Structure 1
Amino acid sequence: MSKVLFITGASSGIGAATARAAVDAGHKVALVARSEDKLNDLVTELGEDHAIALPCDVTDVSAQTTAFEAAATRFGQIDAVFANAGLGATGKGTEGGDIDNFRTMIDVNIFALTVTCKLAIAHLKQSKGHLLLTGSRAAHATLPGSVYGATKWFVRGYAENLHAELAEQGVRVTNINPGMVDTPFFDEGKPDALRPEDVAGAVMYALGQPDRVVIPSLQIYPMR
């Protein structure tokens, strides 16, 4: 059955790979990110019948609201929301970190994520849909002083709280927790890391479960 997926952080990496996997599976996608050029290129690749580009800074509440409205208007409904937008650290730990980077990470990885989830709920209650959040292996380990890791601990706990809130309303919640992924997130290649397509496969697996099944948390780590 064809579904409509709303994906943040969709212009590259995990988000773009998930969009490709979704369209390959017969679904339609609403693509949200700041990079309009990259989104438009992805729409051209996927086809305008299957994808819509919605340039948006996810920390801007009104912009996210407009993006959700545009997606619902274009496709009629929203069946799944993948809150995937995220930002990494520019320095190591708290002592070696940058304060401005702390603020931006918290704005994107926590505040913007909660906005995406809040705006998603009305649509997903109607469709009995699925809310997915990008967490991290960093939320299953202690990384000394890591503000980034702490933001992902927030995602882990928040996903569990959302499950408790939404389960009786027929909305599934899944926290996708990848280990290191070879994406533009890093300044240099990571040959032993996961590929974005690996994480996209985990997203599609969670989405493909019968309505009676929910996978609250899905870990996907590289072998080395």
Structure 2
Amino acid sequence: MYQLLDPSRFVVFITGATSGFGAAAARRYVAAGAKVIATGRRQDRLVELQEELGKENCHIIALDVRDRAAVEQAIADIPAPFDAINIVLANAGLALGLQPAAEASLDDWQTMIDTNVSGLVYTVRLLLPGLIARGGGHVVTLGSVAGEYAYPGGSVYAATKAFVKHFALAIRSDLQGKNVRVTDIEPGLTETEFSLVRFKGDADKAGNVYSGTKAMTAEDIAESIFWATSLPEHVNVNKIQLMATTQAIGAFDIFRG
């Protein structure tokens, strides 16, 4: 019999838990008996999530992962039993804009770098010592198919997700012998608030991304995260790359003048 890990023993720290993958993952873990620390910038949504999942199962922290000092303080202040973290889901991230590089907003680029790269690095680095001290655990990073297959208008977003992929692969080597697993989740077309954020609230533009197709859902991605972390401790899934059945890798972009 293949022995899966007992999710009722999981204590999961999730960034970006106010919507999308993070919120779906929080629900999936709590449904399995785990405890969750849900963090994000929108306090009202965190409160709603905690009311849904129960205070005994879900501890919430209003947190902007770009603020290193705030991340340090938030981790230091987590009360028992939520402080016994053994799974880190570094999910917070975003895309902004889809303009060609010469026209893109430098502010948007900086926000993506600060969130997708710096925020992730702060989260993982500050939680790793605790995982190691407690005998092991699992780090899950949220990459993207864009980290492997870049597309027009996605230059900096794709670059940040390439960073996530290689960061996850590299720290796997750093963690040899520490009983800490690392998995990068790389989703493709998924209907969440992602496009609404990318187009800064323009619902028409966001809707066009998913029009006429069947995208994946946040719950689909949460299930893959849950599966990877539930496997026996001697099994490490390096990465999971998922695309909707209606999405495939496109042809090379060739300019013909």
Normalised by the length of structure 2, the TM-score is: 0.84
Name the structure 2 match of 1:15: 22
Distance 1:220 1:174 in 2: 13
Distance 1:184 1:35 in 2: 14
Name the structure 1 match of 2:64: 57
Matches within 5 A, 1:133-148: 133-144=141-152, 146-148=155-157
Paired AA for residue 118 in structure 1: R
Paired AA for residue 41 in structure 1: E
**Mapped contact 2:117–2:160 kept (Cα < 8 A):** yes
**Mapped contact 1:57–1:64 kept (Cα < 8 A):** yes
Superposed CA offset, 1:139-188 (max 9, x none): 12132361100110111111111111113211100000000211111123
Tell whether 2:61 aligns with 1:39. Answer: no
Superposed CA offset, 1:33-91 (max 9, x none): 00011001000000011001100110111211122223354424101000000010213
Tell whether 2:128 aligns with 1:130. Answer: no
Paired AA for residue 130 in structure 1: H
Pick the aligned partner of 1:196 from 197, 206, 218: 218
**Mapped contact 2:59–2:82 kept (Cα < 8 A):** no
The farther-off stretch of 100-109 and 160-169 is 160-169
Distance 2:25 2:79 in 1: 19
Kindly report structure 1 stretches of 4+ aligned residues shifted beyond 4 Å: none
Where in structure 2 are there 5+ consecutive unaligned residues?
1-5, 197-205, 247-257
Name the structure 1 match of 2:201: none
Distance 1:212 1:91 in 2: 41
Name the structure 1 match of 2:37: 30
Distance 2:132 2:120 in 1: 18
Name the structure 1 match of 2:158: 149
Check 1:74–1:64 CA distance in 2 against 1; reply closer, same or farther (3 A cut).
farther
Distance 2:173 2:236 in 1: 12
Paired AA for residue 123 in structure 2: T
The farther-off stretch of 167-176 and 7-16 is 167-176
Name the structure 2 match of 1:160: 169
Instruction: Give the superposition deviation at 1:123.
Output: 1.5
Paired AA for residue 198 in structure 1: D
Check 1:72–1:136 CA distance in 2 against 1; reply closer, same or farther (3 A cut).
farther
Instruction: Give the superposition deviation at 1:19.
Output: 0.2
**Mapped contact 2:88–2:138 kept (Cα < 8 A):** yes
Distance 1:93 1:174 in 2: 31
Paired AA for residue 94 in structure 1: A
CA RMSD of aligned residues (A): 1.3
Paired AA for residue 103 in structure 1: Q
Matched residues, percent identical?
Answer: 37
